[in-house]
């Protein structure tokens, strides 16, 4: 899979819903009911971050949930890419990017949403054929004003801002012409998962799915 094919697939994925839940799952028993609640609420694209010992097992479970499109987040190494693909991930997300990571994703045919925080990083990825990027960490890097500024010189680049996105600021991001969707963890709070409040998570997902309309 070359960069153009990967970018086309990532663009299609990002357009499926305005919010991609960013999931840090510590209890494997929560994987299926969590995914089912989010999909039922209208958020089919799910990013499972590789930040917990059970993350790959969670991806295996979520990949079998009807309607779910599961991605592996926090990809850092070529081994992460191989493990994520083997577990059933349909796409990958990285906080930044290296040539080794791009090569691994292309070799594994795993579409990548690569992270970028500056115009230079965005230009570097654009030169390699990637024009759909994760803007991370969004709020810490200046948020909406920075994305608005990047839209002028880089109109061909689209972003999925992630990091510090909340119900209070999400609409401001989704109003931007160069934002396809956002990544956020607020739709699956840890407290809700621990209490197994799946109906509440489904309702939060439903509200999030209606944003940006």
Q: Which helix (H) or strand (E) holds 23?
A: strand 19-23
Residue-level pLDDT at 99: 96
- Domain ranges in the chain are 3-209
> CA-to-CA distance for 132 and 92, rounded, in angstroms?
13
Residue 136 CB-half CA count within 13 A: 20
| Nearest residue to 20 via CA among 133, 189, 181, 192 | 181
8-state DSSP, 162: B
| Nearest residue to 160 via CA among 58, 92, 67 | 92
Catalytically active residues, by annotation: 47, 134
**pLDDT digits 0-9 by tens, 77-120:** 999 999 999 999 999 999 999 999 999 999 999 999 999 999 99
The mean of the pLDDT values for the chain is 97
Residue-level pLDDT at 108: 97
Mean pLDDT, residues 125-136 taken together = 98
> CA-to-CA distance for 76 and 69, rounded, in angstroms?
21
Q: Is the pLDDT of residue 43 over 90?
A: yes
Q: Is the pLDDT of residue 125 over 90?
A: yes
Residue-level pLDDT at 86: 98
CA-CA distances (angstroms) from residue 194 to 24, 25, 38, 60, 71? 12, 10, 16, 20, 22
Q: What percent of the chain has pLDDT over 90?
A: 98
Domain 3-209: which CATH number of 3.20.20.70, 3.10.20.90, 1.20.120.430, 3.40.50.880: 3.20.20.70
**pLDDT digits 0-9 by tens, 139-152:** 999 999 999 999 99
Mean pLDDT, residues 35-55 taken together = 98
Residue-level pLDDT at 212: 87
| Nearest residue to 113 via CA among 158, 83, 153 | 158
> CA-to-CA distance for 103 and 94, rounded, in angstroms?
13
Mean pLDDT, residues 194-208 taken together = 98
Q: Is the pLDDT of residue 6 over 90?
A: yes
Q: Is the pLDDT of residue 76 over 80?
A: yes
Residue-level pLDDT at 124: 97
DSSP bridge partners of 91: 71
């Amino acid at each position: 899979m070359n960069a153009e094919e990967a970018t086309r697939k990532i663009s299609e994925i990002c357009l499926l819903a305005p919010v991609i839940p960013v999931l840090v799952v510590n209890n494997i028993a929560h994987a299926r009911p969590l995914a089912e609640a989010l999909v039922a609420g209208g958020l089919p694209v799910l990013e499972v971050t590789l930040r917990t010992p059970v993350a790959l097992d969670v991806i295996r479970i979520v990949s079998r949930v009807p309607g779910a499109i599961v991605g592996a987040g926090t990809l850092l190494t070529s081994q992460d890419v191989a493990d994520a693909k083997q577990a059933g991930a349909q796409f990958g997300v990285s906080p930044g990017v290296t040539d080794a990571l791009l090569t691994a994703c292309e070799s594994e045919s795993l579409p990548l949403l690569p992270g970028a925080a500056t115009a230079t990083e965005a230009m570097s990825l654009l030169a390699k054929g990637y024009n759909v990027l994760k803007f991370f960490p969004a709020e810490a890097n200046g948020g909406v004003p920075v994305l608005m500024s990047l839209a002028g010189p880089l109109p061909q680049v689209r972003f999925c801002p992630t990091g510090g996105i909340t119900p209070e600021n999400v609409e401001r991001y989704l109003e931007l012409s160069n934002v396809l969707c956002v990544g956020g963890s607020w739709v699956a709070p840890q407290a809700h998962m621990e209490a197994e409040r799946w109906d509440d998570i489904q309702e939060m997902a439903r509200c999030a799915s209606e944003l940006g309309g």
